[in-house]
Amino acid sequence: MGRSTEARRAPQLAVVLMGTTILAGAPGIALAQNAPAPAAPVSAPAQAPAEVGETIQTIQVTGAERLEAQTVLSYIQLRVGQQYTKSAGDAALKDLYGTELFSDVQVNNDKGVVTITVKENPVINRIILEGNKRIKDDKILPEIKVSPRQIFTRSKIRADVARIIELYKRQGRYAATVEPKMVMLDQNRVDIVFEITEGDKSKVRQINILGNEQFSDGELRSQMVTKQARFTRLFSSGTSYDPDRMAFDQQKLRQFYLTQGYADFRVVSAVAELTPDKKDFIITYVVEEGKRYKFGDVKVESQLRDFDGDKLAKNLALHKGDWYNAKLVEDTIEGLNDTAGAFGYAFADVRPQYDRDKENLTMGLTFVIQEAPRVYVEKIDINGNTLTQDKVIRREFRLAEGDAFNSLQVKRSTNRIKSLGYFQEKFEVEQKPGTAEDRIILEANVEEKPTGELQLSAGFSSLERFIFQASIRQRNFRGRGQTVGLSGSYSSYSKSVEASFVEPYLFDKNVSLGVDIYRRDYNSFNYTNSDRNTTYQQSTTGFQVRAGVPLTEYLTAIGRYTLNYDDVSLDKGTYYSVNSEGDYACDPLRAGRYLCDAIGKRLSSILGMSVVYDNLDNRQRPTRGETISANVDVAGLGGDVKYYRLRANAAKYWPLGKGFIFSIQSEGGLIKGWGGDDVRLTDRFYLGEPQIRGFGIRGVGPRVVRQYLTADSDGNYTVKGEDSDDALGGKYYYMNRAELEIPLGSGAREMGLRPSIFVDAGAVWAIKSPVLNQCPSGCFIGSRDSSGNQLYTETATDGTTSTTTSATNSVTGAANAAIGTTSYFTETFEGNTWKPRVAIGFGVNWNSPFGPFRIDISKALLKYDGDNTKTFTFNVGTQF
């Protein structure tokens, strides 16, 4: 009994797990089994007595909900049977906090009973972003490291706050702040809310430059990408602070000074200071210009047997005595490399050797062309094309396997493959060493992009009012490089449908073939004051077949055959009446003789040819190069119409630097009938909007102007203030245009905004005066005689009045309905002159989300009688 009682009184070694006491000897718990006896005290140095503690008899873990006690104990070094000291307790606290699993930890010792009280960090339920408008959730959330179902820790949240702020800094928003908040939920869960205050973009308020003496601050700032924030740069993204852009600006400054001869220039320091309100930056550059150098002796030493260094030196663009220009040196090296490459030396190496004379301030240069073997093309590899057939790419190469290498031909091959439009924009033909020193491998690593186009657009045009267009086109049909398309359009004044097919290499020969089949309905119109009135309707059904053969790399000859069936008609209720023969026919008094002659059905058989020179860098939006074409068409090889038509046009583009693009365009033509035929109204040339801005549709050139009159009781005629005119077109025309495209900031470029200023000039003329209704005092419409003949009154030149028949008003209602309201008018023929019409103005192209948009505001400076002017024009939803 004593032994048993003593045993019961003996202290039990136990571990408390989640509030449950488990005996130390219980199975599976090894912490208290065979616990070692307390170690004998060890003598410590007198100056640092040993820390004496109590023996740990039990370790209890309380407060844990998700974690097992064994897991908690595995993070610390405390064990039953060890001595508990204050330092050991502190170490346990550090270890548990280091896991970042707990928001609160307490370690208590009560005479060997150690109690560890923990409060677990909650589990994240959701991540919520508030206040972010400039950067959307899908851009921020991938940067955040915490995620739902993870354990919440303050260090992770702090790191995520820093990441979000860094995202806003990249956008130039240095005033952005992020405040994390925690919303407590049940079951120890939380929602993490990042409250974001984005703030405005931190602009560059001022750019200061110190140390510059030769160039003003304004000149140097103009070389930089970063710009000072001003109202005039509202759409520019260059006014935002960007450290990378600032580093680039230092290089731009150095490049500028090196092109001006300052070879010793350097940027001493560049500092960006954020204003206290975090809204603006002030950037300060300290520069050291140094002395200005001129070129000394310029030589070329060639180790290639085909090159004479002295002759090459004479043809260089830089000369002794000119101001030193580092850009000119780079261009000279590139030019010498291209020259060597054109002679087959693909691996020619041109190295400049500088001879700086600081006393005389000269920079001598010797260009050394290293010896290299002549190279031949071993093979041409094409990779990455999954749809496009190899032959479509290979036929654009200007080199074949086994040919002598030519760098100019490689560049031309690169440009031709780019012009296909099937692959990525930044495509280059790579050059790799072959199996021998005199062999090279040309490799085309292409990355295909979609070549199918489906376009649906609806819009409003000042030309044709409401418009609907639809088209589908595949520019690389079946990977063969063929183009097939189907398009249609509908508006108040025109309708069309067209199918097309183009084979650029017929039977794998360098001959192109194109076929178009179309139906076009067009309603012509005139103006009575500002009201549009339909005059004639023209329906054209036909097809065109054309074939092109390249004569040189940039010169192409194109032959074509066109067959059109035209039907020109007038509204009978408006322009027809019963003639003297009793037939219901076109009335010249109502429509004009020129329009009555145009109506009818005709077949046109047209044979044509064009010669085109084109070296533009981009046909969609050219910035450099020129295009010239000459065209001749002959109608009359069959059909009902006989004429020959000559046209020529030319355009040239210059990049002026800093994004400015200047272009001039000119065109002209003539058309003549043959075989006794005159040129029909519908085959003549017309000018006006949109060819010459500042004038209305067909607003330039010959026309018949009809002025309506009123007569008083005394027989006097006065102008009512109403008139109408019909454009007659011309047999000769010319048109010229000069335009300067003005660059905007990168932000505006990304929006597709391209403003420009322009000058347009042109004329159309050379037709005979039509047979007018010659009524000096005004033609009278509104009565018929008893036979139904149209009456009009004509005043003779001597002032007397003669009437063709006696006027009578005994007309039937049906006759009056056919005639319309009674009216008096006079007609004049105007605008038939070669003298130029000139207009100036400015406009903006915008690739808007709802379709291309073009707006022009222009002023006609030179005009002549009969011309119709127009200040404001725009197009939405149509190509221009």
Average pLDDT over residues 193-207: 88
**Span 287-311, average pLDDT:** 88
Phi, psi of 73 (to 5 degrees): -70, -25
Instruction: Give pLDDT, residue 420.
Output: 84
Tens of pLDDT, residues 217-268:
989 998 898 888 877 666 666 788 888 888 999 999 999 999 999 999 999 9
pLDDT number for residue 587: 77
User: E strands along 85-167, which residues?
Assistant: 102-110, 113-120, 123-130
CA distance 698 to 718: 28
Mean pLDDT of the chain: 80
Band the pLDDT of 876: cuts 50, 70, 90.
low
Highest-scoring range by mean pLDDT, 360-369, 450-459, 517-526: 360-369
Predicted local confidence at residue 294, as pLDDT:
93
Residue 45 pLDDT greater than 80, yes or no: no
User: What one-character DSSP code corresponds to residue 507?
Assistant: G
Our CA angle for 628, 632, 638, nearest 5°, is 155
Beta-carbon contacts of 193 under 8 Å, excluding residues fewer than 6 positions away, are 128, 129, 130, 180, 181, 182, 183
- Distance CA(75)–CA(61), nearest Å, equals 12
pLDDT at 580: 65
Query: Three-state SS string across 788-820, please?
Result: CCECCEEECCCCCEEECCCCCCCCCHHHHHHHC
Q: Are the beta carbons of 54 and 113 closer than 8 angstroms?
A: no
Q: What sign has the CA pseudo-torsion 288, 290, 295, 299? A: negative
Provide the 3-class DSSP secondary structure of residue 1. coil
pLDDT in the model for residue 30? 33
- Secondary structure E strands in 338-399: 350-357, 362-369, 376-383
Contact 284, 271 (CB under 8 A): yes
- Residue 874: both structure tokens together: 């725009």
Residue-wise pLDDT tens digits, 604-645: 999 999 999 998 877 667 888 899 999 999 999 888 899 999
Task: Look at residue 588 and tell me whether its pLDDT is greater than 80.
Answer: no
pLDDT of residue 797: 32
Question: In the prediction, which pLDDT does 862 show?
Answer: 93
pLDDT of residue 627: 94
Strands 823-830 and 779-781: antiparallel
* Helices and strands (H, E) in the chain, number of each type: 16, 43
Q: Please determine, for residue 662, whether its predicted confidence score (pLDDT) is greater than 70.
A: yes
In single-letter form, the type of residue at position 761 comes to A
For residue 741, what are the CA distances in angstroms to 616, 736, 841? 17, 16, 12
Query: In 43-188, where do the E strands start and end?
Result: 54-55, 58-62, 83-84, 102-110, 113-120, 123-130, 177-185
Q: Encode pLDDT of 401-418 as tens digits.
A: 888 888 888 888 888 888
Residue with tokens 């490049």: 255
pLDDT above 90 as % of the chain: 28
Nearest to 584 by CA among 806, 779, 789, 780: 789
As a whole number of angstroms, the distance between CA 253 and CA 250 comes to: 5
Tens of pLDDT, residues 825-851: 677 788 899 999 999 999 887 766 555
Q: What is the pLDDT of residues 167-179, one digit of tens each?
A: 888 877 888 899 9
Q: Own/partner pairs for 107-115, CB < 8 Å, 24+ apart?
A: 109/54, 109/56, 109/84, 111/54, 112/54, 112/55, 112/56, 112/57, 112/58, 112/84, 113/57, 113/58, 113/60, 114/56, 114/58, 114/59, 114/60, 114/78, 114/84, 114/89, 115/16, 115/60, 115/62
Q: Helix 243-259 and helix 326-342: axis angle, to 10°?
A: 80
Kindly tell me if the per-residue pLDDT of 585 is higher than 60.
yes
**Reduced to 3 states, what is the DSSP secondary structure of residue 757?**
strand
Instruction: Report helix angle 407-420 to 326-342, nearest 10.
Output: 100
Strands of the sheet with 14-17, listed across from one edge: 20-23, 14-17, 58-62, 113-120, 102-110
- Residue 266 C-beta-side C-alpha neighbours within 13 Å: 3
> Which one is predicted more confidently, 278 or 280?
280
Phi, psi values for residue 509, rounded to 5°: -105, 160
Q: Tell me the C-alpha distance between 329 and 323, whole Å.
A: 12
For the stretch 749-767, pLDDT in tens is: 666 678 899 999 999 999 8
- C-beta atoms surrounding 45 within 10 Å: 7
